A and B are shown apart, each in its own frame.
Chain A
Amino acid sequence: MHRRLHQPHLPHSDSPAAPSSSSSDDAAAKRGKKRGSYNCGRCGLPKKGHSCHAGSSPSPAPDSSSSASAAAASTPVSAAAPAAAASSASAASASAVALAPSSLASASRRPPQPPPPLLPRHPISHLRRALSFDDLDVRADEEEEDFDEVEPDLDERDRDFVDGDADAGGLPARCLWEVLRRLPPAELLAVARVCKGWRETSRRVWRAAEDLKLRVPSRAQLCFVGSVLNKCPELVRLSLRMESDVDATMLACIAFSCPNLESVEISTSSNAVNRITGDELGRFVADKRCLTCLKMEGCSNLGGLVLSSSSLSTLWLSDLNSLSKMVFNCPNLREISLEFSRNGNDCTDLIAMVDGLGRSCPILQNIHIASVRLSHAVVLALTASNLRGLRMLSLVLGSEITDASVAAIASSFSDLELLDLSGSSISDSGIGMICNVFPETLSRLLLALCPNISSSGIQFATAQLPLLELMDCGMTVCDSNNESLISDEAINHGMEKRPNSSLHLIHQKLIIKHSKLKKLSLWGCSGLDALYLNCPELNDLNLNACKNLLPDRLLIQCPSLENVYALGCQELLIEVIQNQVNNDSFPVENHLPFKRLADGSKRVRVPHFLCQQQFDVDKKQRSRRRPCNVLAE
């Protein structure tokens, strides 16, 4: 089964609730009145930073389509990202607690591959007036006129328009606006041809657009993006999925067309090469005074990066490779995610980078770094900084991170809510330290691919961390005889099985009772042969590739369970799981005393109230929630 080294999903602490009014006022002044005053058609006030409540519904626009496309757009780099995982992940990511949806949701994916990092997924809720271009087909050969040149004065149009019922097909302008703004962009453009009224309204929907998700197909020219961006000058959030190479001219186009832009996301599909250099990116960021969020994939050509911005608060860069320097002069930075390439030739000086990060970004709350070159020294550099506000720390793939690193983390950061040290060398004593320091705050603990952890460490963690909601122990308790779980690629990337006392890792059992645990991932734990779970809040359970888990040593008492992933498990086990999670007659713990008789048999002494007890349990079960999915395909 395939499993990505999940990325802790770092939700925005609050999604950049950017007060756009101040910055857009500046923008208004800068832009002058060249393009005609954009007054709200409904109440006549200037549109800048204005959200019209005169009859508009603030409900999120095409939620299902946008969130599906959002998931597709913001899902990760790796070429093998299937839509199924993305959509389940996005559903999972909707909840504020869901931290690493990718790990559990990705369970359904197929062949084991080394964990190419996923971009941390963020909840794209509240897509206000979001337009999504996912299926747009582009004709690159047509000349496109600048749409705005030909537009007449807006206010006059509005006056004529508001009364025109019949022409607009029976709907007044305001209502038509409500309908058209729920159309995807391609349709929106098409309906402009219906009649004057519809064209006008569709223009206004464009102009009001604040969110845009655009898939840029390979034969599209820059002018395609430019002309689209020109239609929505109020754009606040832009997400581009590049299917062809992208370079600084795109950045320039974006910078020029969208003065109010606060969030930019550029993702690349498999063939597209991101040629943007560090200088160009640095300039873009420095010039865009209201930019709060920048996410970019495929950053292998950056070379070196100096980012200076007082507005930037979220930064995600992936596929970084051999940066000569990385300087972040971003005093307002709250969340940073840096994923380095893992093809072995990355030589970025992480220590210097982390050092600088600690110094220039004092209010950092969420840090995610994925690099095979993470080491104890890097952790020390991080802990030496004074990042008092750190809440989420994720340092993955660093096999040189040790228990000593955990000690350093434990002594410097006292309020961690999320700790992800997947791929490290920490052992059960490291877990002990974690449980010592963070029991009052830690709700998400991810220790996948940590070969030195045993089931007793896992059990200890679940027993000592009362607030735990997500626990990822994938590929920890592994049967070391089994090499097939780790593919060749993983070995090449330095994730080969480390020699450890393998005997104790076979035939391990896990007993977990936890009142708050919601997601548990034990994927790839082939050393487990018995599992007992009593977690009333558990929603997701990942048992992919737990091939040695015995059907008669499995007991799942988790009434809220919604999904169980059991790919690669024994057939019988899957059946047992299905029975246990969906059966009305809930397996009751055998509390009945029994007596061993002289002939070796056991006689159970049945208390007289047994029948009644059974009945009660059954009744409770019948009123249970909807059936649980057991996914084994």
Chain B
Amino acid sequence: MSSSSSSSSSPPCPKKMITLKSSDGETFEIEEIAALQSKTLENMIDENCASTPIPLPNVKGKILAKVVEFCTKHAEAGADAETLRAWDAEFVGVEHAIVFDYILAANFLEIPTLLDLACESVAEMIKGKTPDEIRKFFNINNAFSPEEEEDVRRQNQWAFE
């Protein structure tokens, strides 16, 4: 099991699987090669802590399943850039609450590609909306007092309207 300790040079032959355990107890298997996209997991693999299921208390099962899917897809050899891009677009074409979860998971697991993808997609959701619309969309409480709001508005007047 721990014969290949250096993760970056692990041979591609028998697919070494890692088990991940979500916050709600679900387990998922992921190929070691795919798991290497997560720096957190890579560190664990390096330190040989990957033989037992790795508990991820910050990530729900539903999301972890998708994350595993993402990493597996991106670890595939020979995927051409255009198809991957299209796949990515579909991956984040879900409601924003889920994309937020992707961001949180990618942040926790340190998966730069997923973080990038999800953040860009949220940024796209934000673009073009007025502050009010943003608040409604993301369900944010407006924590500004009227004076503060006026203050901020004045400061940035030249940026919008």
A→B interface (CB under 8 Å): 55, 57-59, 62, 136, 138-140, 142-145, 147, 150, 166-172, 174-175, 178-180, 182-187, 189-199, 224
Q: A170-B138, A178-B115, A195-B142 are in contact. Are A189 and B127 (CB under 8 A)?
A: no
Known: A183-B127, A187-B126. 7 other contacts (CB 8 A): A57-B116, A170-B100, A170-B138, A179-B123, A187-B128, A191-B134, A193-B153
Q: Is the Cβ of A142 less than 8 Å from the Cβ of B160?
A: no
Q: A193-B149, A193-B152, A194-B135 are in contact. Are A186 and B159 (CB under 8 A)?
A: yes
The answer, among B119, B140, B158, for a CB contact under 8 Å with A178, is B119
Residues of B within 8 A of A199 (CB): 152
Q: Is the Cβ of B134 less than 8 Å from the Cβ of A194?
A: yes
Q: Is the Cβ of A190 less than 8 Å from the Cβ of B107?
A: no
Q: Is the Cβ of A167 less than 8 Å from the Cβ of B140?
A: yes
Task: Compute how far the CA of A145 lies from the CA of B155 in the bound complex, rounded to whole angstroms.
Answer: 6
The answer, among A171, A180, A190, for a CB contact under 8 Å with B131, is A190
Residues of A within 8 A of B110 (CB): 55
Residues of A within 8 A of B153 (CB): 193
Task: Compute how far the CA of A523 lies from the CA of B134 in the bound complex, rounded to whole angstroms.
Answer: 51
Least Cβ–Cβ distance between B63 and chain A, in angstroms: 13
Task: Compute how far the CA of A491 lies from the CA of B63 in the bound complex, rounded to whole angstroms.
Answer: 68
Q: A57-B115, A183-B126, A183-B127 are in contact. Are A175 and B156 (CB under 8 A)?
A: no
B→A interface (CB under 8 Å): 97, 100, 103-104, 107, 110, 112, 115-116, 119-120, 122-123, 126-128, 130-131, 134-135, 138-144, 148-149, 151-161
Q: Is the Cβ of A169 less than 8 Å from the Cβ of B131?
A: no
Instruction: Give the residue name and chain of the A residue nearest to B153 (CB).
Output: A193
The answer, among A142, A175, A186, for a CB contact under 8 Å with B157, is A142
Residues of A within 8 A of B152 (CB): 192-193, 199
Q: Most chain-A CB neighbours within 10 Å: which of B115, B130, B154?
A: B115
| 12 intermolecular pairs with C-beta atoms under 8 Å apart | A57-B115, A59-B116, A139-B161, A167-B141, A169-B138, A172-B104, A186-B160, A191-B126, A191-B131, A193-B149, A194-B135, A195-B144
Least Cβ–Cβ distance between B83 and chain A, in angstroms: 12
Q: Is the Cβ of A178 less than 8 Å from the Cβ of B107?
A: yes
Q: Is the Cβ of A179 less than 8 Å from the Cβ of B126?
A: yes
Instruction: Give the residue name and chain of the A residue nearest to B138 (CB).
Output: A169
Listed from nearest, the 7 A-B pairs whose CB atoms lie closest are A189-B159, A169-B138, A193-B131, A182-B123, A169-B140, A142-B157, A196-B143
Instruction: Give the residue name and chain of the A residue nearest to B130 (CB).
Output: A190
Residues of B within 8 A of A143 (CB): 154
Instruction: Give the residue name and chain of the B residue nearest to A60 (CB).
Output: B116
Residues of A within 8 A of B154 (CB): 142-143, 145
Q: Most chain-A CB neighbours within 10 Å: which of B104, B143, B144, B156?
A: B156
Instruction: Give the residue name and chain of the A residue nearest to B101 (CB).
Output: A170
Residues of B within 8 A of A59 (CB): 112, 116
Least Cβ–Cβ distance between B149 and chain A, in angstroms: 7
Task: Compute how far the CA of A167 lies from the CA of B135 in the bound complex, rounded to whole angstroms.
Answer: 10
Q: Is the Cβ of B143 less than 8 Å from the Cβ of A195?
A: yes
Q: Is the Cβ of B159 less than 8 Å from the Cβ of A168?
A: no
Q: Is the Cβ of A175 less than 8 Å from the Cβ of B144?
A: no
Q: Is the Cβ of B141 less than 8 Å from the Cβ of A171?
A: no
Residues of A within 8 A of B144 (CB): 193, 195-196
Residues of A within 8 A of B159 (CB): 136, 185-186, 189-190
Q: A59-B112, A169-B139, A183-B127 are in contact. Are A175 and B103 (CB under 8 A)?
A: yes
